[in-house]
Amino acid sequence: MLALADVLPRIFTSDASVLEEAAILWPLFALMQPLNGAVFALDGILIGAGDGPFLAISMAIAFCACAAVLVATLAGEWGIRGVWAALVVLILVRLVAMLGRFRRGRWLVTGWA
């Protein structure tokens, strides 16, 4: 993603102002991808293990953290950068919560519950 920072946005637009914003946001977007992959993989594992209640609670907590950054974005007039920062916070909170859950192994259930 980082290597294609000058190419991929141009597939979708030729607008100079959009390309300028994309250039600023692209590194954040690209560096989020491995985090997203880990979160989605852990989601699948924990969903498959029937750990839905934990996932619901952890997502609610992640949403609250994301919403706090969005409120700060509005107050500080951070614009699209603040929105992307809020998405990073959402992913990071989910990742920390799910890694903690995964490492503790409380989601492991053998046999029929």
Q: Is there a contact between 76 and 82 (Cβ–Cβ < 8 Å)?
A: yes
Q: Is the pLDDT of residue 112 over 70?
A: no
pTM of this structure: 0.86
Handedness of CA 14, 17, 18, 19 (dihedral sign): positive
Domain residue limits at 86:
33-104
pLDDT tens, residue by residue, 54-87: 999 999 999 999 999 999 999 999 999 999 999 9
Q: Is residue 54 part of a domain?
A: yes
What total of structural domains would you count in the chain?
1
